[in-house]
Amino acid sequence: MYLRFEDRILIDENIQAFRAYTRHPDAHPAQKHLVDLSGVTAIEWDYVKLMQLQALKAGFFCGRGSQTLKVYYCPTKLSLSVAKMILRSWDGINTVIPIIQQHEDDALSVLGLRQGCFSNLLADHG
């Protein structure tokens, strides 16, 4: 799954989007995730809502006998800060394997994808 964040990250929108994702017939906990944070310009730092979002995610990803590889692409200072905060939220949850990458080719390689950049990935699967 490819997820790209643009502009300001709003937690309520993320909660709605995650709920929609979990209802999609192709969604499953073992699915690999590529989270592109390169377009983030700001984030809503509402910790209560963040915990609500993480609880929803934990409910989906945990207890199903599989692991989820989540690769966070974060080439900027802000996106790296956001990714580090997200990784802390996965502490102690062994069903999610979060990895930070600052280069597109490295992010794709970790996921076992042969494309060298995201535009090629999207063109191949568009």
Residue type, 58: A
Integer angstrom CA distances of residue 74 from 51, 71, 123: 22, 10, 21
Domain boundaries, the chain: 2-125
Q: How far, in Å, are 7, 19, 51, 64, 65 from residue 103 at the CA level?
A: 20, 29, 28, 31, 31
What pLDDT does 25 receive?
Answer: 92
Write down the pLDDT at residue 89.
80
Segment 94-123, tens digit of pLDDT: 888 999 999 999 999 999 888 777 777 777
Domain range 2-125, CATH class? alpha beta
- pLDDT tens digit sequence for 47-79: 888 888 888 888 888 876 778 899 999 999 999
